[in-house]
Amino acid sequence: MTFIQVWLLPIALLVTSTVVAFPLSRYMAWIMDGKYRPPGVFRWFEQRLDSGGQNWKQYLFSLLTFNTLMFVFGFLVLALQPYTPLNPRGLTMLAPSTILSSVVSFMTNTDLQHYSGDQHLSNFSQIFFGIFNLFLSAAIGLAALTAIIRALRSDSSVGNFFVDIWRVLVYMFVPAALIFGLIFITQGSPMTFQTSHDVTTVEAGAMGTTDTGEAKTQTVIVGPVAAFESMKMLGTNGGGFYGMNSAHPFENPTGLSNFFNTLAMMVFPFALVFMFGRMLNRFRHSLVIFVVMFIMMAGTIGWSVYFDTLKPNPGLTGQAVEQKFEVPSAASPGGKLTVSMPAVASLPVEQHQGNLEGKEMRFGVSAGATFDALTTDVTCGAVNAEEDSLNPVAALAPLAGMWLNCVYGGKGVGMINMLTFIIVGIFIAGMMVGRTPEYLGKKIGAREVTFAMIAILVHPVLILLPTGLFAATSWGLAAISNPGAHGFTQILYQFSSATANNGSAFDGLGVTYGFWNAASPGPSAVAFDIAAALSMLFGRFLPIVAPMAMAASLGAKKSSPFGLGTLRDDSVTFGFLLFGTVIIIAGLLFLPVAVLGPVAEHFGPMPFGG
């Protein structure tokens, strides 16, 4: 493999997203600041929509009420699937717990799917549950960030929730989705109200034969895939039309579509950071934040590509020498047991292109590893390669993206999460300049730092507690597909993905119940449905509510001018401070589970050896 083959894709993606972010952020700030003049019909509607400026509590109330309505609507659409049109296959209702987890999942921009879109949803559900939420949930996060920015700059009101949603949808998402949707159509993505085609396979009998000996036809599911796909990526939603997600040839047909697929999830998160700076009139500050995020993103991509594309699959290379360890024996105090990691012969597999298991080679050698790291950094959750098949340590990259949850992050919320790290970092380390810590000239007091800590605290609570609970009980042990560290990682990944509102899955975990009348549902699917729904709900709204209160409290303070003794928020030193804060805090929270999962698997015995 040449350098170009491996690194061209990630570099091209990072450079393109960065270049696009400059003008796009200017446009977004212009829209969100309401400086545009809406075209005729829109103006009339916008004036009706604008119920006036809201304070932060009213804004939050609108946001939460709106989400409640989305929840009810989504639940009804899925529950009524047997009775709604566009369902020629006659799909029945999903299990209630699966409906709960799916509705919460799409409402919270998570899109963790305990179902398979092509098998379980009709086109009506795909449109009115799926696409509906893909647009709205992303808009809500962006609106929340805008309100927080307005609170920080001490505006008289934090804006109007409904107008903000409208602006995001109409002036940002719809045009962008049209552009990307058309690109996907040119590459071969279906865009139709048809549901399925029964086709004869090229190789006769590839799908098996009927009792009478005739070759079975293959049922190919189609639908409004291009529309679904563009917003799935642009809104960093990640929930696929097909269970295979972006690895499916209709969602992501070609290498070129893969480039745009990946780019689509990056453009808005990148631009949002600059939008933050432009709206606060502190562009240089946002540039420092951008660089810190960029370095972390480059780090996760580099890590996953290095350990997955440039390293062979350790399960195939084997282990030359037996290794022995002594562990204390519980049966005889002071006694020792010997644990052996036996020698395993390598398999005769050509591995010079790295770990190929679970990869779509039409995208290129490093596309899977790049996509897997990116998808959690920007909290998208789409996948174009099997995460479960990543080399053990390579899986640390997508996990880290969810644990940090601020490497650009999802629509708006990534930047909001970064804001809480900024506040805590400035509060602790910023004292070392010898002044009461200030952010944007406002003194950080007990109230602000408490809200910031709550927002940070929510994350480990919702990831670690359920992971511990499921890891030690039959709920988790019955669902995992591998014993030991790999199975642990599957559970850990599930709750990391739910809490970070990411939605990607470390497959292999039996979480699918399927239809309500399913013959053999996943043994602990109900427990996973409910636990994941709770993680997603609290993981979504507490990190919006607490920072909003924090920003409002900070914005209400008097601003003091910048002086020589003031901590600069646009310097390289500040970049170090921020980087250190994020890495150390997140590191301290998740290092133990990182070790128990991917690291233990990496150093542990060959999966086929024991």
Partner 1 sequence: MSTEVRDFKIPVGEARPGSEQPVRRVKARKLLEKETVTVALKQALVMLRPDLQWNNPVMFVVLVGAVLTLLYIVEAALGGSTSQVSISYFIALDVWLFLTVIFANFATALAEARGKAQAESLKKARHDTVAYRLTAKGAVEEVSSADLKQGDRVVVKAGQAIPGDGEIIEGIASVDESAITGESAPVIREAGGDRSGVTGGTVVLSDRIVVEITSSAGESFLDRMIALVEGAIRQRSPNEIALTLVLSAFTLVFLIVVIPLLPMARNAELYMQSYLGVSEPVKSLGTDVPTLIALIVCLIPTTIGALLAAIGIAGMDRALQANIIAKSGKAVELAGDIDVVLLDKTGTITIGNRNATTFLPVGKYSASDVGRLAALASAADATPEGKSIVQLFEKDSHAPVDVSPEAKFIPFTAQTRMSGIDLPDGKQIRKGAPDAIIKFIGGNGGNVPTELSSLVTSVASQGATPLAVADGPNIAGLVVLEDILKPHMAERFERLRKMGLRTVMITGDNPLTAATIAKRAGVDDFLAEATPETKLAYIKKEQMGGKLVAMMGDGTNDAPALAQADVALAMNAGTQAAKEAANMVDLDSDPTKLIEVVEVGKQLLVTRGALTTFSVANDVAKYFAIIPALFAGTLPWLKVIDVMHLHSPTSAILSCVIFNALIIPALIPVALKGVRYRPLGADALLLRNMLIWGLGGVLLPFIGIKLIDVVMTALHLAS
Give the footprint of partner 1 on residues 87-116 (CB under 8 A). Answer: none
SS3 191: coil
Binding of partner 1 at residue 446 (CB under 8 A)? yes
Binding of partner 1 at residue 321 (CB under 8 A)? no
Q: Give CA angle at 451 (445, 457), nearest 5°.
A: 130
CB 477 to partner 1: min, Å: 8
Binding of partner 1 at residue 588 (CB under 8 A)? yes
> What is each CA distance from 530 to 13, 395, 547, 590, in whole angstroms?
37, 25, 26, 23
CB 341 to partner 1: min, Å: 7
In the set 427, 493, 513, 515, which binds partner 1 (CB under 8 A)?
427
Binding of partner 1 at residue 320 (CB under 8 A)? no
Positions in 129-188 near partner 1 (CB under 8 A) = none
In the set 333, 350, 519, 520, which binds partner 1 (CB under 8 A)?
333
> Is 147 in contact with 548 (CB distance < 8 Å)?
yes
CB 430 to partner 1: min, Å: 7
Judged by beta carbon, residue 201 or residue 436, the one nearer partner 1 is: 436
Dihedral over alpha carbons 301, 302, 308, 314 (to 10 degrees): -130
Binding of partner 1 at residue 24 (CB under 8 A)? no
CB 550 to partner 1: min, Å: 13
Positions in 245-264 near partner 1 (CB under 8 A) = none
Q: At what angle do helices 96-107 and 525-555 cross, to 10 degrees?
A: 30
CB 526 to partner 1: min, Å: 20
**Strand locations in 436-530, DSSP E?**
438-439, 442-443
In the set 26, 311, 362, 435, which binds partner 1 (CB under 8 A)?
435
Site string for partner 1, 529-568 (x = CB under 8 A): -----------------------------xxxx-xxxxxx
CB 473 to partner 1: min, Å: 8
Binding of partner 1 at residue 449 (CB under 8 A)? yes
Which range of residues in 62-70, 270-278, 411-419, 578-586 is near partner 1 by CB under 8 A?
578-586
CB 483 to partner 1: min, Å: 6
Judged by beta carbon, residue 216 or residue 602, the one nearer partner 1 is: 602
By CB atoms closer than 10 A (0-12, 13-18, 19+), residue 517 is exposed
Which range of residues in 48-56, 57-65, 391-399, 571-579 is near partner 1 by CB under 8 A?
571-579
CB 494 to partner 1: min, Å: 14
Tokens, residue 150? 């307005």
Task: Give CB contacts under 8 A, 24+ apart, made by 483-490.
Answer: 484/600, 484/601, 484/604, 485/392, 485/596, 485/597, 485/598, 485/600, 485/601, 485/604, 486/392, 486/597, 486/601, 486/607, 488/596, 488/597, 488/600, 489/392, 489/395, 489/399, 489/597, 489/598, 489/601, 490/388
Q: What is the C-alpha separation between 472 and 492, in angstroms, rounded?
A: 12
Tokens, residue 448? 């602000």
Binding of partner 1 at residue 288 (CB under 8 A)? no
> Is 385 in contact with 247 (CB distance < 8 Å)?
yes
Judged by beta carbon, residue 82 or residue 592, the one nearer partner 1 is: 592
> Is 451 in contact with 549 (CB distance < 8 Å)?
yes
Strand partners, 337: 327
Positions in 481-520 near partner 1 (CB under 8 A) = 483-485, 488
Q: For CA atoms 301, 371, 415, 427, give the dihedral sign.
A: negative
Which of these, 136, 165, 213, lies nearest to 59 by C-alpha position?
Answer: 165
Which range of residues in 43-51, 297-305, 356-364, 461-469 is near partner 1 by CB under 8 A?
461-469
CB 274 to partner 1: min, Å: 23
Which range of residues in 207-215, 269-277, 292-300, 465-473 is near partner 1 by CB under 8 A?
465-473
CB 333 to partner 1: min, Å: 6
CB 257 to partner 1: min, Å: 40
Which of these, 24, 237, 238, lies nearest to 140 by C-alpha position?
Answer: 237
Binding of partner 1 at residue 461 (CB under 8 A)? yes
Please state whether beta strands 218-221 and 196-199 pair in parallel, antiparallel, or not at all (unpaired). Answer: antiparallel
